[in-house]
Every structure is written in C-alpha cells, then in structure tokens.
Amino acid sequence: MKKNTRSEVLTMAWAIRKQNTGLTWGQCQASAWRALRLRSALHTGAVKFHYTKEDGSTREAVGTLSPALFQYESKGSGSKENPLLVKYFDLEKQAFRSCRADRLLAA
C-alpha cells in the first residue's frame, strides 16, 4: 500500500467522521476504503454500483471515469475538492454525478 493511498483513506475517513458522528471509526474507515476501491475501478472502466440518496431511496448507477468511454470538455472548476464525494460520469444519464462516500452500498 502506498503512503499517499493510506493518507487519502484517512483523510476521507475523518471527513466521514465529521459528517456522521453516529458512525464508529472502523465504519468510517470501511466506507473510505469502499469509496477508494470504487474510484480505482471507475478509472479502469464502467462500474455498476449502488448508493443511498439523500431522500433515503437506493440508486443503482453505472458510471466511469475512463476517458475512452465518454466525451466531455472540462470547463474548469474553481471549487475546492471535497474528499467525501465520489464523482463519476453516469453512462445512463450521460452527465456527471456524485455520491457521498459514507452512502455507498455495493460496487
């Protein structure tokens, strides 16, 4: 395991912990690892995964971050990166979407 991977996981776990005080540290780390594995899979190709939306419903998504699978011209962003979000290109909706790392159910 690379040092920056561990750092990324712990940064995400702390962000989850600040957002959800009801979760244990172990649950926060498990959610962070799940999100990191999903991000890695998204970069390699299309991935089917599930997450819980804000309203409590479950959403099944097929997404990717592989540039070979979609066409998009970046307009640039001045916003700060949020370690709690997993961003992906939804292949069904043909648009970028995001979900919170602590709400991922399965990949």
| Nearest alpha carbon to residue 83 among 3, 14, 2 | 14
Asked if the model's pLDDT at residue 1 lies above 60, the reply is no
Residue 88 makes CB contacts below 8 A (sequence gap 6+) with 42, 47, 61, 63, 64, 65, 96, 97, 98, 99
Whether the predicted model's global pTM rises above the 0.75 cut: yes
pLDDT tens digits for 19-32? 887 899 999 999 99
pLDDT of residue 3: 59
